[in-house]
Every structure is written in C-alpha cells, then in structure tokens.
Amino acid sequence: MNNIATHTHRDDEASKLGMWLFIFTELLLFAGLFIVYGVYRYLNPIAFHLAAEELSTTVGTINTIILLISSATIAMASTAIRLKNKQLTLLLLITTLFLAFMFMVNKYFEWKGKFGHGIFPGSEDLQKLGHGDTLFYGLYFFMTGLHALHIIVGFILITIVCVKVNNNSLNINNTVLLDNSGLYWHLVDLIWIFLFPLFYLIT
Amino acid sequence: MTKRNKTHIVSYKVYLITLVGLIALTLISVGVTYIQLANLTIFTALLLASIKSTLVLIYFMHLKFDNRILQILVAAVFILIALVILITFLDYNFR
C-alpha cells in the first residue's frame, strides 16, 4: 500500500483535464496571432524578409535552448517528487526558475537594443521604414511580449510550487499542482518553438 | 488500488534523450537557414518546429502515458487549428 487513499475529495485526473482545457484556449489564442502573422507576411513578403534579418538568430537560438532545458528540468521534477527525492525536486525547480530568469534577461537586452535603434511600437523611425516593417515589428513586440508575460506567470507559479514542496504540503500524495505547472511551462515552450522560426529563422 | 490511480513514472533518461533530440533539431533548423532552399525554407522551418512540438507533447507533457480521451482531445484541437489556418489561407489565395 504505497499510495494510501487519503479520503479527501480530490480528482487529479479532472484537474489535469481542466489544465488541458485552459491550454487549448491558449493554443487558439496564439494560433489566431500566427494567422495574422501569416497573412501579413503573405501581403508584405519583402518588408517581412528584410525586417526579420534585423533580429539576432544567435540570441533567438540561445533562448530556445534555455527554454528547452527548463522544460526538461521541470518535467524531471515531476519524476523526482514521485521518487520521494525532495532535495532533487527543489533543485530542479530552482534550475527551471533560474533558466526562466535568464530567458527574460536575454529578452530584456534584445528589446533594449531594438528600442536603442528607435524601433518600438509607434516610433517615428519605424513609420519611416514603411507599412510592412511597422506590421512586422508590431507583431514581433506583441507576440514575444505576450509570450514573455506567460513566462512571468509561469515564474510565479513555479515559485509557489517551490514553497509548497519545501514545506511538504506538495508531496508524493499530491503532485497535481507540480504536474499542472509543468504542463503550463511546456505550453510556454511549445509556443516559443513556433515563434522562434517565424521571427528569427525565416528570412 | 485501481489501475487508474497508478501514474506511470517517466525515467530521467527519457527526458534527457528527448532534450538532446530537441536541441539537435533546433541546431539543425538554424543550420538549414544557411542553405538556400528558396521556397522550401518556410516549409522546412515549420516541419522541424512541428516535429519538436510533437516531442514536447508526447514526452514532456506526458501524453504518451495519459488516458485515451486526453490523447484524442489534444489531437482534435491540433487538427482544428490546422484546419482554421488552412481555410484562412485558401480564402486569401483564391479571393
């Protein structure tokens, strides 16, 4: 009798399903934005091509790898807690938090560089560049910005999980919050997997 | 205990192999951009991204070990998204 039935009214399977339903709404939200991007790219191919070349592939690649590793570490945390290894769970979660922070640091410098060149939503320099560039950078700032917002939310969520693991209220009998936070974090990773080629690679 | 309550524990090794695969695919997708593929560039980039996201869904998001209903739901949502994108582009192309 390893997993003794605690008689609390809880349905982990339903919690997970609920999390997935939320993920579906998020996927549809970003899918809508991808359509907007696709249609505008189709209508302004040359401007999108030139504007995309201004983005640093190196920074994009580093951030992609950072997010992939952080996804792996939080997935491993789900395994670690099931193997009753609290120290390792915490270590993996803190690594995930650190990587999320590094992602945001890179994003900060990337955006700062763009702002320094006078490129930000509504800037005069951008309007001089023309309609296509305005659209490209508008979508770039909106989509990466919305994604960064999800990173911040994930950061807060994982911090809460860390605290709960530390005070033992999240343990092997009750892993659903960790699992769902993991699912959310993988969603953030999933969205970035598509943002990366669309903005940094296709030039 | 019913079988339903037994969750499958994925080994660290599975996650590590998945991670290595994902990083390799990322580097391949960056490398491919240096080759002139003309119209195939967008196709290859999106194909590699799709493979990567499938790996994330199956292994990181645990779908391989989840129950059938969830697997069908996720597949259905992705088919829905693909259809919406396809129909929008057909509309733009033949307008």
Residues B18 and B55 in one domain: yes
Distance (Å) from the alpha carbon of B77 to chain A's nearest alpha carbon = 7
**Count of CB atoms within 10 A of residue A182's CB?**
28
pLDDT, one tens digit per residue, over A175-200 is 999 999 999 999 999 999 999 999 99
Residues of A in contact with B56 (CB under 8 A): 71, 186, 189-190, 193
**Minimum Cα–Cα distance from B36: chain A residue:** A203
The verdict on B56 and B75 lying in the same domain is no
Nearest CA in chain B to A1: B1
CA distance B45 to A173: 42
Contact state of B49 with A13 under an 8 Å Cβ cutoff: no
Domain annotation for chain A: domains and CATH numbers: 33-201 (1.20.120.80)
Chain A residues with CB-CB distance to B88 below 8 A: 35, 38-39
Alpha helix (H) ranges present in chain A? 12-43, 45-53, 57-82, 86-116, 124-129, 131-166, 176-196
For residue B76, tell me if it sits in a domain.
yes
B36 & B74 share domain: no
pLDDT tens string B12-65: 999 999 999 999 999 999 998 888 776 788 889 999 999 999 999 999 999 999
DSSP for B22-50, written as a single string: HHHHHHHHHHHTTS--TTHHHHHHHHHHH
As a whole number, mean pLDDT of residues A77-91 equals 96
Residue A7: its pLDDT value, please? 61
Same domain, B76 and B47: no
Q: Distance, in angstroms, between A124 CA and closest chain B CA? A: 31
Decide if B19 is inside a domain.
yes
Q: How far apart are CA B65 and CA A157, in angstroms?
A: 24
* In a shared domain, residues B42 and B76: no
| Residue B54 falls inside a structural domain | yes
Domain membership of residue B85 as a residue range: 66-95
Give the closest residue to A197 by CA, choosing from B50, B90, B75: B50
Looking at per-residue pLDDT, the higher value among B37 and A65 belongs to A65
B51 and B91 share one domain: no
Is B40 within 8 Å of chain A by CB? Answer: no
- Say if the Cβ atoms of B19 and A68 lie within 8 Å: yes
* Alpha carbons A197 and B10: distance in angstroms, whole number: 30
Whether B18 and B53 share a structural domain = yes
Task: Answer yes or no: is B45 within a domain.
Answer: yes
Q: What is the pTM of this model?
A: 0.92
Split into its structural domains, chain B has a count of 2
- Judge contact between A178 and A170, C-beta under 8 A: yes
Please tell me whether residues B90 and B77 are part of one structural domain: yes
Is B3 within the bounds of a domain? no
